[in-house]
Structure 1
Amino acid sequence: MIKAVSEYLGRYTHKVAISNHRIMDIGPQKTTFGYKDYRQGAKKLVMGLDNMEFIRRFSMHVLPKGLVRIRHFGILSSSAKQGTIPLVHQVLGAAQLPVDPRALAQYNPQYCPYCQKETMVSIQRLPKRGPPRTVFSALLPSKN
């Protein structure tokens, strides 16, 4: 039961409403696309809809600006995560993750593969999201 629920939710929480490869034809009056009917054992079917109906159904999956698709609450909420996640790991008997990156699978980010010593030095700390601005700014075309 739990596996079926997670598969069902996974199909809808981590994908777009319809990907481009599923759209087969867009005509002046009708849009045709493929889909899987999971009630029939994931059988692949084709559906054609009037363009206005297709747009209406597609727009039902567009979130309003600022609304997040998946919100974390309970033990995963931002305010509770610090205290509850270690407690959950303890209750489930899960191993604690090491904080030091050198302890992860014998990987040491300061280890140089050429001289075989810890000589690598960090020269820049990248932001958590987005591309590294200063490193790639020379490669990007100018906006002028």
Structure 2
Amino acid sequence: MRQSRKVRGKVRALLRQRCPDLVVPDVIWHTDWIAHLTAWGQGEQAVLDYLARYVFRVAITNARITGLDDGGVTFTWRDRKSGQRRACRLSSEEFMRRFLQHVLPRGLHKIRYFGLWHPTHREDAARMLQLQAPPAAPLPETVMPPEPADAEVTTTPPIEPRICPHCHQGRLIFIRTLPRRQAMGA
């Protein structure tokens, strides 16, 4: 109970500070909140590992539902303290109420890819990774076979960063490869 009051107070203080014009019904601040706080490791990686389990999963898998009849639903769950599997039986209404708490409202998504990570920007992301890579050792010059005259323009960046073949210091930024005929100005 003490944890829930503390969480409720901190949320209220943050809302007053960051959203002073927001009107929250007073009943919210007088209702008991359910706050279950458990430490799950330390640092950013622990947070990512914890949240990653919930990103692509549904609330409960079919394999965990062990019984279904007119009286309700029986499913298994793992007790965190003992590590043992236990069974729980709920009425159909209560099971659906709990399940629907995990369904996002229409138009909301668990994950949104935007900016550099949006699928339409894959080439830009590949170029950014190339620019962040440490400079590679100069490669020995090799003779490249001539391109066919009717080769198409390539827009896929090379996999590793390329070093300038003349000064062996600067990094080349891939823009595109021109067919030989177009490169020669023909």
Please report the TM-score for the alignment, with normalisation by the length of structure 1: 0.49
> Rg bigger for which structure?
2
**Which one has more relative contact order, counting CA pairs under 8 Å at least 6 apart?**
2
